[in-house]
């Protein structure tokens, strides 16, 4: 969880929680800014997991809530990551409004592409890549389990990792196996748009910018998937 600790340590400003919502697919926290993250439920039967101080979270500061990102309870961890994202000021340099998987598809032509997480555009990437490897926590079909990372990743020239790997604490075990010359992307609405992540070898950070908090919270409250979510736009920040 070294990355989480560094992200929390980088938060120079705190702010009160204005609003928090934990929806079926997304969690949002409004504090200094507005941040979101995937809602990840426990693997326990019925998905039940107790959140510390539930009903009182809005009395905490965003910095206090950010500490939840270190929790082994995935529901607490996603709340914490959304809180981190609510305190991060998005860098304006090298920012582009684009779907990151279009970049991955372009970079991956004729190459071995490794994807962590099941995303749209996989058919398009597979059509032009030399090889496409997909890793999942609960693999199905031709998907690979995380236990295969050490043997698969050293050959991959383009790598896209879901930012949910921060929530489930698997990112630290993935990063050491990404080759130094690979083009790597951390992708998903949960992605912290923090330059700190470039120090871990990522070339591109692909997340979201909140344009309208009210529309976002309304969408989340009605169980919107990302494609149904209003008030946000996909952005990428490049290392150079």
Q: Could you give all domains of the chain from N- to C-terminal order, each with its CATH number?
A: 2-89+212-226 (3.30.390.100), 95-207 (3.40.50.11590)
Distances (CA, A) of 98 to 101, 103, 208: 9, 8, 10
Record the pTM.
Answer: 0.94
Nearest of 102, 88, 83 to residue 196 by alpha carbon:
88
Confidence of residue 46 (pLDDT cuts 50, 70, 90): low
Taking only the tens place, the pLDDT of each residue in 110-149 is 999 999 987 878 889 999 999 999 999 888 888 999 999 9
**pLDDT tens, 186-206?**
999 999 999 999 999 999 999
């Amino acid at each position: 969880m070294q990355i989480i600790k560094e992200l929390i340590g980088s938060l120079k400003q705190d702010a009160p929680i204005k609003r928090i919502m934990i929806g079926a697919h997304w969690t949002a926290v409004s504090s200094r800014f507005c941040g979101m993250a995937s809602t990840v439920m426990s693997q326990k039967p019925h998905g039940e997991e107790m959140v510390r101080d539930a009903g009182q979270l809005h009395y905490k500061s965003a910095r206090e809530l950010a500490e939840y990102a270190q929790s082994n309870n995935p529901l607490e961890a996603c709340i914490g990551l959304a809180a981190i994202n609510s305190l991060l000021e998005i860098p304006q340099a090298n920012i582009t409004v684009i779907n990151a998987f279009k970049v991955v598809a372009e970079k991956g032509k004729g190459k071995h592409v490794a994807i962590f997480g099941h995303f749209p555009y996989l058919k398009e990437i597979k059509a032009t890549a030399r090889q496409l490897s997909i890793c999942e926590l609960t693999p199905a079909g031709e998907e690979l389990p995380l236990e295969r990372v050490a043997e698969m990743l050293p050959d991959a020239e383009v790598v896209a990792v879901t930012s949910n790997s921060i929530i489930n604490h698997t990112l630290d075990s993935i990063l050491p196996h990404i080759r130094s010359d690979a083009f790597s992307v951390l992708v998903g609405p949960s992605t912290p748009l923090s330059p700190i992540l470039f120090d871990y070898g990522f070339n591109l950070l692909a997340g979201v910018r909140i344009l309208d908090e009210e529309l976002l919270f309304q969408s989340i409250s009605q169980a919107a998937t990302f494609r149904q979510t209003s008030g946000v736009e996909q952005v990428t920040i490049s290392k150079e």
